[in-house]
Amino acid sequence: MGLIVQKYGGSSVADAEGMKRVAARIVATKKAGHQVVVVVSAMGDTTDELIDLANAVTPIPQGRELDMLLTAGERISMALLAMAINNLGFEALSFTGSQAGVITDSVHGKARIIDVTPGRIREAIDAGSIAIVAGFQGISQDTKDITTLGRGGSDTTAVALAAALDADVCEIYTDVDGVFSADPRAVPAARKLKTVTYEEMLELAAAGAKVLHLRCVEYARRFNLPIHVRSSFSPNEGTWVVENHPEGDTMEQAIISGVAHDKSEAKITIVGVPDRTGVAARIFQSIADNDINIDMIVQNVSAAATGLTDISFTLPKSEGQKATQVLQRIQGEIGFASILFDDTIGKLSLVGAGMRSHPGVTATFFAAMADAGVNIEMISTSEIRISIIVREADLERGAKAAHTAFGLDADQIEAVVYGGTGR
């Protein structure tokens, strides 16, 4: 007998039928003799709909109230799922994040888990029940307010609970058969990966492959907890996220493991910045002081005649307005000319540990973009990733071209998208 944590995403529980299908799957795991803890997301696109509703009553919803609103989505799911399991003759008890002991910091909208004290969950499963936990939420240690972990955060709830309960495995059930070499919604020729390392998955998640939440991968790596990503709509074996690829698994040792694309970022360009020591520090300190995460940065060489330079950086689209306001406040003090905001960019990334030992990856990548007529606006690299910024309209074409250029296309279409709207 083992302890299994299963997480079901929104598309898996989009309607009553989905709830019943998932309930049957959970009961089957219980019947096989395991203790089962389930983390569930809000139904379908509920979270997006709640955000739309908040924006319809105010342009800038307060973080505390927005978190209170959004966590309602997962509460609906957890109670319905518990009922559906009860209906199959099994005992299930639902718990909010706070009841499950998910303790976070107090940053609304992107809280970090500080501690997990799952006493009530342990009690419930030891008494023979199936515990159902609302994903994506916790309670702040300081303010005692309800927090959310950021979009896609139910994955992190599941892994954090699995680590705290010392589970044997954390299964992430979604609407595709596992982690693919690219998002199957954009690249139909994507291949399913049998295994992916924590290191590669971290880069893929950071590059926008939303199949797993970035923090969930960080957590799993820290606790060396295996994650099995698979579909709730099929019995197929999925993808294992592990420390190392198994020996001799040559397919997985391809130079490039995957291509990721991301439409969620925007670009800000600060035009005519005086080229003085300390100016960049002042700009990025004020951005950081406002809890805005930035991604890529490019600073041009200043023109000798003017001593002025341009600085561009990318950030989540949702933080664009706040960042622009912050910069406007320091414009007089720093003396730059203007701020340009562009939210029609896309980020395309190549990820693969094989990149370390193979020269020429960048050349092949850029040649593929040139052949596809995709212009590169910004570039950034890590040891096992190359990311570029392109026009949003060119993004999916670029992703397909890169996938083909690195020989990743499947011979026959194997990627099935079972549900979800891709929103």
First to last CA, the chain: 38
The site map against ligand ASP for 106-135 (x = CB under 6 A) is -----------------------------x
Please choose, out of 181-189, 282-290, 318-326, 335-343, the segment that lies near ligand ADP by the rule CB under 6 A: 181-189
Return the structure tokens found at 413: 């279409």
Kindly state whether residue 257 participates in binding ligand ADP, applying the rule CB under 6 A: no
Q: Among residues 9 and 178, whose Cβ is nearest to ligand ASP?
A: 9
* Dist CA 3 CA 30 (whole Å): 10
Candidates 4, 10, 35, 316; binder of ligand ADP (CB under 6 A) is 10
* Whether the Cβ atoms of residue 253 and residue 245 lie closer than 8 Å to each other: yes
Candidates 41, 46, 47, 312; binder of ligand ADP (CB under 6 A) is 41
The amino acid at residue 342 is: D
Beta strand pairing call for 3-8 and 169-174 = parallel
Which DSSP letter does residue 16 get? H
Kindly state whether residue 21 participates in binding ligand ADP, applying the rule CB under 6 A: no
The alpha-helical segments, DSSP class H, found in 129-243 are 154-164, 198-206, 214-223
The amino acid at residue 189 is: A
DSSP state string for 136-167? TEEEETTT--EEE--TTTHHHHHHHHHHHTT-
Kindly state whether residue 198 participates in binding ligand ADP, applying the rule CB under 6 A: no
The site map against ligand ADP for 141-180 (x = CB under 6 A) is -----------x---------------------xxx--xx
Kindly state whether residue 263 participates in binding ligand ADP, applying the rule CB under 6 A: no
Kindly state whether residue 316 participates in binding ligand ASP, applying the rule CB under 6 A: no
Count the site residues for ligand ADP by CB under 6 A. 21
Judged by DSSP in three states, 36 sits in strand
φ, ψ dihedrals at 61, nearest 5°? -65, 145
Q: Among residues 204 and 270, whose Cβ is nearest to ligand ASP?
A: 204
The site map against ligand ASP for 58-87 (x = CB under 6 A) is ---------------x--------------
Candidates 4, 5, 10, 238; binder of ligand ASP (CB under 6 A) is 10
180 binds, among ligand ASP, ligand ADP, Mg ion, none (CB under 5 to 8 A by kind): ligand ADP
Residue 155: C-alpha distances to residues 80, 83, 212, 419 (Å) = 19, 22, 7, 18
Only one residue has tokens 């495995």, namely 169
Site of interaction with Mg ion (CB under 5 A): 9, 152
Which residues form the interface with ligand ASP (CB under 6 A)?
9-10, 41-42, 47, 73, 135-136, 151-154
